[in-house]
Amino acid sequence: MQTEELQIVRNYSPEELKKSALVVYSRSSKYSMSFDEVKFLFDEWSNYHQLTHPIYDDEGNEFWDSEWYYMAARTKNKNIKSIISFLSLWFWMARKSRYMFPLDLDPKNKISYMREAIRKKFDANPDLRKKLLQTWDLSIIEYTYWGDDFFGVDQKTMRWANILGKLLMEYRDSCIE
């Protein structure tokens, strides 16, 4: 899918969410929706979920969640990449890294980095890839309480580009072909 297509924003209804595979950060109670009726609910697809199999960048840095890999990809500085890799051992530091280091903010580049993080995450973990393939042709949506309407869906506005969900579907479809 082209970058421009990925960035298209639209609104979705709660009914559409229930028919989709939702990516959520399940350690939070801040969601405004009950997930009882959702067909597929995946915490392990969240970028903040600790991986059972680490992913590595081209310098050999090890990352224990894809959010950290994504953050490190957004800098060319090898020292900063190494620091971010080290910090990936502490989950709660992930969001802080975007404020601690100068990172690439270009939306097209961010999409490219996320696409690579997804590929590495699922290529490194066949069990996780199998779960992704079991969603068949369902829409995949990252449903967020933190207001992300770029990579996810903001639960307050229900407005979103849902780029993470679209990239997960893109990866899933490439595995089927």
- Under DSSP, the state recorded for 138 is -
pTM of the model: 0.86
Q: Is 134's pLDDT higher than 80?
A: yes
Average pLDDT over residues 150-168: 89
Q: With bands split at pLDDT 50, 70 and 90, how would you rate the model's confidence at 26?
A: low
What pLDDT shows up at residue 66? 87
The CB density around residue 56, as the number of other CB atoms within 10 Å, is: 13
How far does Cα 126 stand from its chain's mean position?
Answer: 17
What is the residue type of 138? L
Place of tokens 């639209």: 10
What pLDDT shows up at residue 4? 84
Average pLDDT over residues 7-30: 81
- Under DSSP, the state recorded for 92 is G
What pLDDT shows up at residue 76? 95
| pLDDT tens per residue, range 82-130 | 998 888 777 556 566 667 888 899 999 999 999 999 999 999 999 989 9
Residue 146: strand, helix, or coil? coil
Residue 51: strand, helix, or coil? coil
In contact, 163 and 7? CB cutoff 8 Å: yes
In this predicted model, which residue has the larger pLDDT, 157 or 172?
A: 172
Looking at the chain, list the stretches that DSSP marks H as alpha helix, in order from N- to C-terminal side. 3-6, 14-18, 66-73, 78-87, 97-100, 107-123, 126-133, 163-176
What pLDDT shows up at residue 159? 81
In this predicted model, which residue has the larger pLDDT, 49 or 60?
A: 60
- Under DSSP, the state recorded for 42 is E
Return mean pLDDT, the chain.
86
What pLDDT shows up at residue 94? 56
What pLDDT shows up at residue 35? 77
Domains of the chain: 3-176 (1.10.357.40)
| pLDDT tens per residue, range 48-59 | 777 888 999 999
